[in-house]
């Protein structure tokens, strides 16, 4: 696939999994380094003297950000890679917080000798604004009231998340990013970085996402939020910290999980398998029902319902063209080398959305993650993601 742009003729490379078998061997088998035990850090990026104005109105006088870093920032401050997390993710992208604990969500990609090689890169991962893993959000204490913000936390957008990240990077001494990388909601942040701060983004990697949230994705989020709101324990978001609306949040998670996978993935894993007779009931008569219930319980134990509502609203507001003009002109202005990754079985963000990015970005190549697992493939098919990411950074990302 090829096309012209404001910068003249361009070459779009369509990478496939079979192209990089040798690269995969180097990415996976030759390197199994870990960043080891890591400690999350917290830094303030807004104060009454330097508040954070929000895109949709209002401001926050206090914003703390929880983040992790891997590797060392070089003297010029330009070897940094910003890794952006998805909806229920956190700053914990790599390593472990203690012996025997679960590694970070992208641990196979971040470490010595891995695709994001910390011997070369200073990798930064932060929890987003509005999150519930240490960065200011609905679970944080409102200094004005001394109570949790809860439903009173102001509405925020992906652009606000990027502004918080910019402030964080400024405080860390990061100048120009070698790359900004993200999948799903993380991909929204990566795209916003490239559109808002093109002078600071050396290269862009956007995985399983489009230029704007579709009616399909907005509708799914709306159903999930209604499930949360219908829980009697929700109380309009004013629930007690020890009385989370677990049923509603669990149902929201079940809805999302069905869109994160594909027909083939769920059929192969569960089919029509049933639970043992003594366990049968409305919630767990089939293995798939038991799985969805389990996923809902797990999320309710580690996440917050108001946070889920706020983050999904921010995702629905995602639109690169909003306030900037026609989308084609916005994409044409994002001239940095870009890698767009799509997943053929992704029903949440289908490949047509990545193709639109590919056609509009002046210097883009395409990589397909071949997997039966749907949208979640970027969190499952680590060897493929590592091979494509490594090659792109080696060939296109400037130092």
Do 198 and 234 lie in one domain? The reply is: no
- Look up the CATH number of the domain holding residue 290: 1.10.1740.110
Last residue of a domain, one of 295, 312, 329: 312
Which band of pLDDT confidence, cut at 50, 70 and 90, is reported for residue 24?
Answer: very low
Residue 32 has what pLDDT?
58
More confident residue, 284 or 172: 172
Last residue of a domain, one of 252, 283, 312: 312
Which band of pLDDT confidence, cut at 50, 70 and 90, is reported for residue 99?
Answer: confident
How many domains does the chain fold into?
Answer: 2
Identify whether 61 is a catalytic site residue. Answer: no
Do 79 and 171 lie in one domain? The reply is: yes
In this prediction, residues 35-39 reach a mean pLDDT of 95
Question: pTM of the full predicted structure?
Answer: 0.90
294-330 per-position pLDDT tens digit: 999 999 999 999 999 999 999 999 999 999 999 999 9
Residue 373 has pLDDT above 80, yes or no: yes
Do 189 and 231 lie in one domain? The reply is: no
The length of the chain in residues reads 399
Q: Which residues lie below 8 Å from residue 220, measured CB to CB, with a gap of 6+?
A: 255, 256, 259, 348
Do 266 and 352 lie in one domain? The reply is: no
In this prediction, residues 134-163 reach a mean pLDDT of 97
Q: Give helix 287-302 / helix 246-260 axis angle, nearest 10°.
A: 120
In this prediction, residues 372-382 reach a mean pLDDT of 97
Q: How far is CA 68 from CA 30, 41, 92, in A?
A: 26, 6, 7
Q: How far is CA 359 from CA 11, 16, 106, 320, in A?
A: 11, 18, 28, 15
Identify whether 375 is a catalytic site residue. Answer: yes
Which band of pLDDT confidence, cut at 50, 70 and 90, is reported for residue 17?
Answer: very low
Catalytic residue selected from 126, 184, 290, 371 = 184
Do 77 and 11 lie in one domain? The reply is: yes
Q: Decide: helix, strand or coil at residue 190.
A: helix
- Look up the CATH number of the domain holding residue 43: 3.40.50.1820
Do 250 and 108 lie in one domain? The reply is: no
In this prediction, residues 371-377 reach a mean pLDDT of 97
Residue 281 has pLDDT above 60, yes or no: no
Q: Give helix 215-229 / helix 305-316 axis angle, nearest 10°.
A: 160
Identify whether 184 is a catalytic site residue. Answer: yes
Do 122 and 225 lie in one domain? The reply is: no
Do 46 and 18 lie in one domain? The reply is: yes
In this prediction, residues 274-279 reach a mean pLDDT of 70
Q: Which of 260, 305, 270 lies closest to 290, judged by CA?
A: 270
Average pLDDT for the chain: 91
Residue 16 has pLDDT above 80, yes or no: no
Q: Domain containing 306: what range?
A: 217-312
Do 242 and 169 lie in one domain? The reply is: no
Do 54 and 84 lie in one domain? The reply is: yes
Percent share of the chain, pLDDT over 70: 89
Residue 49 has pLDDT above 90, yes or no: yes
Do 254 and 292 lie in one domain? The reply is: yes
Catalytic residue selected from 92, 121, 213, 375 = 375
Do 103 and 181 lie in one domain? The reply is: yes
Catalytic residue selected from 346, 371, 373, 376 = 346
* Helix, strand, coil % in the chain, rounded to nearest 5: 40, 20, 40
231-257 per-position pLDDT tens digit: 999 999 999 988 999 999 999 999 999
CA dihedral 188, 182, 291, 256 (to 10 degrees): 0
């Amino acid at each position: 696939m090829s096309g012209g742009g404001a910068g003249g003729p361009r070459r779009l490379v369509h990478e496939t999994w079979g192209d990089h078998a040798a690269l995969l061997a180097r990415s996976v088998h030759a390197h199994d380094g870990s960043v080891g035990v890591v400690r999350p850090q917290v830094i303030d990026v807004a104060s009454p003297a330097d508040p954070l104005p929000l895109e949709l109105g209002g401001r926050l006088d206090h914003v703390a950000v929880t983040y992790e870093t891997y590797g060392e920032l070089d003297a010029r401050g330009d070897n940094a890679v910003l890794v952006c997390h998805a909806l229920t993710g956190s700053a914990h992208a790599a390593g472990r917080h203690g012996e025997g604990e679960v590694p970070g969500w992208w641990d196979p990609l971040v470490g010595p000798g891995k695709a994001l090689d910390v011997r070369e890169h200073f990798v930064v991962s932060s929890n987003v604004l509005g999150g519930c893993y240490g960065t200011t959000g609905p679970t944080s204490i409102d200094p004005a009231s001394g109570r949790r913000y809860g439903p009173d936390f102001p509405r925020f957008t992906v652009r606000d998340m990027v502004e918080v990240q910019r402030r964080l990077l400024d405080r860390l001494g990061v100048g120009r990013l070698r790359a900004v990388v993200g999948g799903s909601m993380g991909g929204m942040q990566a795209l916003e970085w490239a559109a808002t701060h093109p002078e600071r983004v050396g290269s862009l990697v956007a995985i399983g996402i489009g230029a704007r949230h579709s009616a399909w994705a907005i509708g799914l989020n709306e159903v999930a939020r209604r499930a949360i709101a219908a829980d009697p324990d929700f109380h309009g978001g004013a629930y007690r910290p020890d009385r989370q609306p677990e049923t509603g949040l669990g149902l929201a998670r079940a809805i999302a999980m069905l869109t994160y996978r594909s027909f083939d993935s769920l059929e192969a894993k569960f089919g029509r398998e049933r639970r043992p007779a003594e366990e049968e009931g409305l919630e767990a008569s089939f293995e798939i029902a038991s799985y969805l219930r389990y996923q809902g319980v797990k999320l309710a134990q580690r996440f917050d319902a108001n946070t889920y509502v706020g983050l999904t609203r921010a995702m629905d507001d995602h639109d690169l063209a909003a306030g900037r003009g026609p989308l084609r002109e916005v994409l044409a202005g994002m001239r940095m080398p870009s890698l767009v990754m799509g997943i053929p079985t992704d029903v949440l963000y289908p490949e047509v959305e990545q193709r639109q990015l590919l056609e509009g970005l002046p210097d883009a190549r395409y990589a397909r993650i071949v997997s039966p697992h749907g949208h979640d493939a970027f969190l499952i098919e680590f060897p493929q993601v590592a091979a494509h990411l490594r090659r792109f950074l080696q060939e296109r990302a400037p130092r």
